[in-house]
Structure 1
């Protein structure tokens, strides 16, 4: 059995042990089961290989297959290897989606937009008696607005808001205004860039479609709107602008529109 055949044998053996690739159980929580599974994989492969060899080889294979799915670059020169690894695809996609969501929830711009929306709904934060159904409807609407580049749920938004509120309460209790002015000497030594007077980039007019308003509206004649309805004509005329925006810019637009309409 040559090296390529040995690699394929490792893949085939591991496929029978979802414990080793699905992420359903953390290694430290089920250490003995993981070790036993790797020993059984090595025994199934044979050829004198041990569990350590199989694990090291698998880590390389999985890492390169993940890169292949993301970029299309094939760095494993074994015919049919990616087809044999297709059982991994759903798990890899799930992990990528989770990481994208975590990254979004850590974004300052995203959290600012969330706070602005919650601010329009006092019953979500004023601790007054309220309807559970009304709460759920509000969080669903917020999730719909905030879902753009990454899909988020109403529970994601509620949990994120509670986390932000808890952090803010702690911030206020610690009275940082009493100590902050004494700590400016740290600025040159901080490991992240500081942008004084930072202003978020807004949508540039030069980035938006240049066709005439009438031409843009005519493109939606099939919707059967009333040409005499100026509000409808205006809304249709800005659709191309929305398509030209980035995900963050579209979300900013939605947040501002909702803010102006008082969330009605």
Structure 2
């Protein structure tokens, strides 16, 4: 009986109510029902399932919904009371102030400052019906795998409640820190319900995929820093190295496409860049009729082409390389001098040392 009382006290405490309000705050579909996309019952139910999951499933989605209705009603009542008395309202240390714009009585009412008043305790009044005195045989389960010994007892109002052998409040709810402005954290929290639906094999595959992506991203960033250090940060920063490499790849791709069409090329950096062969696409995305038409930049707007050329990260387009390196119609050899004074074999050789960044 003591364990159930402690559990009920925690779920009805100010600490849990503040945490609960912070969790609800990150789901606008529950707050703003004036938007059409938030009126879907499916969207709302999914939001409550996610809230229950974030809180460690100490309450079911249905119980979370009832608790929120109780907290919102109490907050609205306190708003009206404060407006009548012309006093400032401090409710749960301001944890529910985000609800004010969505309540009629809260429109235009200034937020208050100061210590919490005794009105916070009124949150408990309707929660007892949800948490302790539920008319159905539902146990508020802790998020652990230990077997629980449950017994049926009778509360003060004669209704049956379930009791287990856990004496302490749920640990999972006590360390959760939610920042409603952190979109990345909110996204990760929203994935939790989907993870819970996975079997162990699927969870392992999901975790391995995420870890591989993180490792790959980190290794690429580190590689560019190391490339810059090897060349000399005073010459090229990591970002400049990455931009230069993008242009090198484009030029090498153009070189390979010319060779695939039977044209000749004198691209000076072709041999050092041979390792890129398996990683470049030599298929032209759009046909080039002749160099003379392509070189005429002024005529680009009248070329009749539907799609603009793809743009690389450093602003260099594939069309730029075609304009500069496309062979003449009379079959003369094209003049591809690499990147002129920007890159040489030493820089290309440095890139080869870091395939995780180059390929």
TM-score w.r.t. the length of structure 2 is 0.25
Which structure has the bigger radius of gyration?
Answer: 2
Normalized per residue, the structure richer in helix is 1
